[in-house]
Amino acid sequence: MNIITCLLNRHYVNATLKASLNDVAKQINMQYPNTVINYLDANFPFMDGFPLFPHLSHNDGKKLDISFHYLDAGTKQSTNDCPSFLGYGICEEPTGREENTSGICAGSGYWQYSFIRSITPQGNKHNFIFDGEKTKFTVNAFCENAKISKVFIEPHLKKRLKLMDNKVRFHGCQAVRHDDHIHVEVN
């Protein structure tokens, strides 16, 4: 849980998404004991349709962003911490052989695509290693949940992690990049 998310009242989800999140958390903890799902932005609790800046769709209690999983770079042990104090902006960049969606989107005039990354301090990035195995397990656990309708993650990570489920999608250049978090939603 990101304390800023709670202090700003950005953590509301509807009952269906909450139940799905709890089910997935239990499944993850059976495979990886003591793992925490760090949830980021969800929705405001006021009413459906109330916008949650800067998100395009977090306005109805049906969407939630969660952090990737990481290893501590010093110990190589799993950690429940995140490299960014906000949970956003420190990205798992594409390698030279992977599709650079952020470059494609920026080159097409979508200036906002990497905006969060550009304003987020990157100094803590070297203290963390992206845990692809646990992140893949988490994405697949959400995909296996019947109530989850979509999961957004960058195309290069979908390919790298070999995420095959049709629920895993690209969100388009009009949004922001999703190589620093996972977006899940219910119908």
At residue 157, the 3 state secondary structure works out as helix
Quote the pLDDT of residue 6.
Answer: 66
* Cβ-proximal residues to 165 (8 Å cutoff; 6+ apart), any chain: 139, 140, 143, 144, 151
Which residue type occupies 127? N
Query: How far apart are the C-alpha atoms of 26 and 39, rounded to whole Å?
Result: 15
Query: How far apart are the C-alpha atoms of 76 and 110, rounded to whole Å?
Result: 36
Instruction: State the angle between helix axes of 132-144 and 15-31 in degrees (0 to 180), rounded to the nearest 10.
Output: 140
| pTM, rounded to two decimals | 0.91
CB 65 within 8 A of CB 101: no
Q: Distance of alpha carbon 178 from its chain centroid, rounded?
A: 6
User: What are the pLDDT digits (tens) for 71-128?
Assistant: 999 999 999 999 998 888 999 999 999 999 999 999 999 999 998 899 899 999 999 9
Distance (Å) of CA 22 to CA 37, 141, 172, 176, 180: 10, 11, 28, 26, 22
Q: Is the bond preceding 54 in cis, omega lying within 30 degrees of 0? A: yes
Quote the pLDDT of residue 11.
Answer: 73
Q: Distance of alpha carbon 107 from its chain centroid, rounded?
A: 24
Residue 163 tokens read as 């995420």
Quote the pLDDT of residue 138.
Answer: 98
Q: Distance of alpha carbon 170 from its chain centroid, rounded?
A: 13
